[in-house]
A = this chain, B = another copy of it.
Amino acid sequence: MLSFNDYKNLVDERLLDFLPDTGNYANVLKESMEYSLGIGGKRLRPVLLLASCDAAGGDADRALPYACAVEYIHTYSLIHDDLPAMDDDDMRRGKPSNHKVYGEAMAILAGDGLLNSAAELITAQALDLREDADALYAHSRAAHEILRRSGASGMIAGQTADVMNEDKEASADLVRFIEEHKTADLITAPVRAGLMLAQADESMIDDFTTYAKNLGIAFQIADDILDYEGNEELMGKTLGKDLEQDKCNYVSVHGMQDAKAELHRLSSEAKDAIRKYDNSDFFIELADMLESRNN
């Protein structure tokens, strides 16, 4: 197992290499995709994929394209989310949002391009595995896992619930739906996909699914808390937006004190699910780090 930063470096080094060549007349498409990938980010999702694959004895090199694909999906969702018709955010990670630099049309296409590039990249990985049926099947499973959780029953459903239920009375159920799908699905997907690539036991996949789901919801609640209490400079984005846009989140429905208690409970449940595994230290430290995050 490597450290979080070492996995992150592996991702940062190769993240742009897996983008398709857009050709002479569409250079701006590549440029705008690279812009949003390049303005930083914690790389939490791809790191989780590499670490999970490693924890189950898999080959992190073979997992790297999947890790980058998950970051493409995360990045496209931010580009589209920042559009004027959606959350209308001018800043992202301390830099102008994609549409502020390239215009709205290009930001829509760059988002489409990143989502499609992710699917293209992960389906390409099976093509040189013709002779190894088990690996071919493991890769097919990982590919579908990522695309299922990023999709219309996963992340996009969560985004829809988040965007379409502004100004409506919030309920605890709606808040949990948003947390589970908008955020936790794209944290669960890389953990499960990493283990699938490593051909891990189903029981290990189940335990790490519990870890990832709790971690993902905790991550969203921490984000909600930071929207009220965070430092705008450290976060690199406009805060207080949820309040301003009348969005429902854990804090607005349950209050700050309950939110902090729930964050702690979820983090503990995450850690307990995987404590028995040899390589659990990495994942326990990560949960502790996210519980006390300030950006």
A residues sitting closer than 8 Å to B (CB atoms) are 19-26, 28-30, 33, 76, 80, 83, 85-86, 103-106, 108-109, 111-117, 119-120, 122-124, 126-127, 130, 133, 136-137, 140-141, 143-144, 147-148, 150-153, 156-161, 163-165, 173-174, 177-178, 181
How many Å lie between the Cα of A133 and that of B164 in the bound state? Answer: 44
How many Å lie between the Cα of A213 and that of B156 in the bound state? Answer: 33
Copies held by the complex:
2
Q: Are A112 and B109 in contact (CB under 8 A)?
A: no
How many Å lie between the Cα of A202 and that of B152 in the bound state? Answer: 35
Point out the residue from B29, B111, B141, B177 that lies within 8 Å of A23, measured CB to CB.
B177
Point out the residue from B20, B106, B130 that lies within 8 Å of A152, measured CB to CB.
B20
Q: Are B113 and A85 in contact (CB under 8 A)?
A: no
How many Å lie between the Cα of A280 and that of B23 in the bound state? Answer: 33
User: Which chain B residue shows the least CB distance to A159?
Assistant: B109
A114, A122, A160, A173, most chain B CB atoms within 10 A: A160
Q: What are the nearest 5 A-B pairs in CB distance?
A: A85-B104, A119-B119, A26-B157, A20-B153, A25-B161
Shortest C-beta distance, A18 to chain B (Å), equals: 11
Q: Are A126 and B105 in contact (CB under 8 A)?
A: no
Some 18 contacts from A to B, beta carbons below 8 A apart, are A20-B152, A21-B153, A23-B153, A23-B161, A25-B165, A26-B157, A28-B164, A30-B152, A106-B164, A109-B160, A115-B115, A116-B156, A120-B151, A123-B123, A123-B143, A123-B147, A124-B144, A130-B133
Whether A156 contacts B123 in the complex (CB less than 8 A), given A28-B164, A85-B108, A136-B136, comes out as no
User: Which chain B residue shows the least CB distance to A122?
Assistant: B123
Point out the residue from B111, B144, B163, B173 that lies within 8 Å of A123, measured CB to CB.
B144
User: Which chain B residue shows the least CB distance to A178?
Assistant: B25
How many Å lie between the Cα of A174 and that of B26 in the bound state? Answer: 10
Shortest C-beta distance, A150 to chain B (Å), equals: 6
Q: Are B85 and A181 in contact (CB under 8 A)?
A: no
* A19 CB contacts on chain B under 8 angstroms: 152
* A119 CB contacts on chain B under 8 angstroms: 116, 119, 123, 147, 151
How many Å lie between the Cα of A164 and that of B27 in the bound state? Answer: 10
Point out the residue from B104, B120, B147 that lies within 8 Å of A116, measured CB to CB.
B147
Q: Are A86 and B112 in contact (CB under 8 A)?
A: no
How many Å lie between the Cα of A115 and that of B120 in the bound state? Answer: 12
Q: Are B25 and A177 in contact (CB under 8 A)?
A: yes
Q: Are B106 and A160 in contact (CB under 8 A)?
A: yes
Point out the residue from B83, B133, B156 that lies within 8 Å of A29, measured CB to CB.
B156
Shortest C-beta distance, A32 to chain B (Å), equals: 9
Whether A144 contacts B157 in the complex (CB less than 8 A), given A80-B108, A150-B116, A165-B25, comes out as no
Q: Are B86 and A105 in contact (CB under 8 A)?
A: yes
